[in-house]
Structure 1
Amino acid sequence: MAIDRIWSYPPQAGRVEGLDLTGFTVVAYDGTIGHVDREADHFGMRHLVVDTGVWVFGKSVLIPVGVVTGIEPGERRVAVGCSRGEIKAAPRFRIDSETMDPEYLRRVGDYYHRLPPRETTTA
């Protein structure tokens, strides 16, 4: 996958333009991560900010939309092609202003781009 593609929904993800993913449950291949707090697109780097609740000490994580493997609107669920541990090991998301920091976003994109590919799953 080209690094710039990490910021775009894959065609097979089932993205419906205009669908608000806020509140959707986010599921890794090995369990639930949290809920979409918001979707953002700064500098052409589209991503989800996911509230992890108590899973990562009440923190949020930033996930590029290129790792989304499936969206199930009826179930209000988003599947991602990585593990909970891989998400937890991603560059730490500390403050909301980081979504406006192109260097931070590049680090996040590079991290997810380098993850080993997984079989495509659906939500």
Structure 2
Amino acid sequence: MTDQVWGYRETSGRSQDIDPTGFKVEAVDGSIGKVDKHSDEAGSAYIVVDTGPWIFGKEVLLPAGTVSRIDVGEEKIYVDRTKEQIKNAPEFHRDIHLDHPGYHDELAAYYRSGDAFGGRPL
């Protein structure tokens, strides 16, 4: 189950040749910001999204398993969650949580939760 949360789907279009930094990120109900950082580390892949004014300049960490599609031509990453679902995820602070296993476990539990995501767990 962990690989499903922290790994890109085979159908996402993720390629190691593409640096997604700066790509726009689209939730199912609209834009949430731009990719500020990413990791392709096996079993721990994610994107960090700078949300700008959407949630007052905060960043969110999204496990790679939330990415449904990457459009290189449009420079957009599509995730299969709503803005509200992303906003309700455990709060992310880069200095504390980026490489903190406990936070990754908490975030993975949240993203696996069918209740938290409209009955669509990862």
* TM-score, scaled to structure 1: 0.88
Q: Which runs of 5+ in 2 are unaligned?
A: none
Partner Cα separation in structure 1 for residue 101 and residue 41 of structure 2: 8
What is the match of residue 121 of structure 1? none
What is the match of residue 33 of structure 2? 34
What is the match of residue 50 of structure 2? 51
Partner Cα separation in structure 1 for residue 16 and residue 44 of structure 2: 16
Alignment of 1:117 onto 2:109: no
Q: Which runs of 5+ in 1 are unaligned?
A: 119-123
How many residue pairs were aligned?
117
Q: Which moved more, 1:47-56 or 1:34-43?
A: 34-43
Aligned CA-pair RMSD: 1.7
What is the match of residue 77 of structure 2? 78
CA contact (8 A) 1:12 1:70 kept: yes
Partner Cα separation in structure 2 for residue 21 and residue 42 of structure 1: 14
What is the match of residue 6 of structure 1? 5
Higher relative contact order (CA 8 A, sep 6+): 1
1:101-121, Cα deviation, whole Å (9 max, x unpaired): 000011111111113329xxx
CA contact (8 A) 2:2 2:43 kept: no
User: Could you say if the C-alpha distance between residues 107 and 42 of structure 1 is closer, same or farther in structure 2, counting changes exceeding 3 Å?
Assistant: farther
Partner Cα separation in structure 1 for residue 42 and residue 15 of structure 2: 21
Identity in percent: 40
User: Could you say if the C-alpha distance between residues 41 and 16 of structure 1 is closer, same or farther in structure 2, counting changes exceeding 3 Å?
Assistant: closer
CA contact (8 A) 1:25 1:36 kept: yes
Partner Cα separation in structure 2 for residue 61 and residue 40 of structure 1: 14
In structure 1, what residue type is equivalent to 2:82?
S
User: Could you say if the C-alpha distance between residues 99 and 90 of structure 1 is closer, same or farther in structure 2, counting changes exceeding 3 Å?
Assistant: same
Q: Which moved more, 1:84-93 or 1:8-17?
A: 8-17
Partner Cα separation in structure 2 for residue 110 and residue 64 of structure 1: 11
